[in-house]
């Protein structure tokens, strides 16, 4: 059984990691909304270490899931209450992080769709230009009128 002091340290680490990830999430949304794709890629790269740390912390905390919380030894009631409050904040931040990811995905999908529309319009204009050029060349050379028959 994990004691209260260990739980407290892990919950505090989890909280600090989630604060960092939520902050990066807001930067990520801003970069995606404004189309700054290079910056977005750097932010996503910055998120990798905190995400790995969060996974490791969660794995350590999972050892305590089956334990009876009333049997756990806590140095003080205050530490237990503080850990409980931080854990509640962590749950809220996890939801916020998931919401951020969903919003960023929507922004990127919309951006992709707009780019596809622009490319389709450009392709249509290119085809029209090619057709115009072909028609123009044909009219300049006089076409293929056969004057040999009498």
Long-range contact set of residues 86-89: C-beta below 8 Å, sequence gap at least 24: 86/11, 86/12, 86/14, 86/15, 87/11, 87/14, 89/15
Residue 88's alpha-carbon distances to 52, 58, 68, in angstroms, are: 21, 14, 18
pLDDT, one tens digit per residue, over 38-76 is 999 999 999 999 999 999 999 999 998 888 878 889 999
What are the tens digits of pLDDT across the range 136-150? 665 555 556 555 665
SS3 (DSSP) at 78 = helix
When divided into structural domains, the chain yields a total of 1
Residues with Cβ within 8 Å of residue 24, at least 6 apart in sequence:
43, 46, 47, 50
What's the pLDDT at 112?
A: 83
In a domain, 34, yes or no: yes
What's the pTM?
0.76
- The average pLDDT across 71-97 equals 95
Q: Is the pLDDT of residue 105 over 90?
A: yes
| Residue 48 belongs to a domain | yes
Q: Which domain holds residue 90?
A: 1-66+73-105
- Domain of 99, CATH number, reads 1.20.58
Roughly what angle, to the nearest 10 degrees, separates helices 4-33 and 77-140?
20
| pLDDT tier, 10 (very low <50, low <70, confident <90, very high otherwise) | very high
The predicted model gives 112-135 an average pLDDT of 75
| pLDDT at residue 88, as a whole number | 97
2 within a domain of the structure (yes/no): yes
């Amino acid at each position: 059984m994990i004691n209260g002091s260990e739980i407290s340290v892990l919950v505090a680490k989890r909280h600090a990691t989630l604060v960092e990830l939520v902050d990066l999430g807001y930067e990520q949304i801003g970069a995606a909304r404004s189309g700054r794709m290079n910056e977005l890629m750097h932010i996503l790269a910055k998120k990798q270490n905190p995400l790995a740390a969060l996974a490791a912390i969660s794995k350590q905390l999972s050892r305590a899931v089956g334990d009876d919380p009333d049997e756990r030894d806590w140095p003080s009631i205050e530490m237990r209450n503080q850990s409980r409050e931080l854990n509640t904040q962590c749950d809220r931040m996890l939801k916020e992080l998931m919401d951020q990811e969903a919003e960023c995905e929507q922004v990127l999908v919309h951006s992709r769709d707009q780019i596809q529309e622009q490319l389709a319009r450009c392709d249509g204009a290119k085809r029209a230009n090619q057709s115009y050029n072909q028609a123009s060349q044909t009219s300049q050379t006089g076409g293929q009128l056969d004057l040999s028959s009498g």
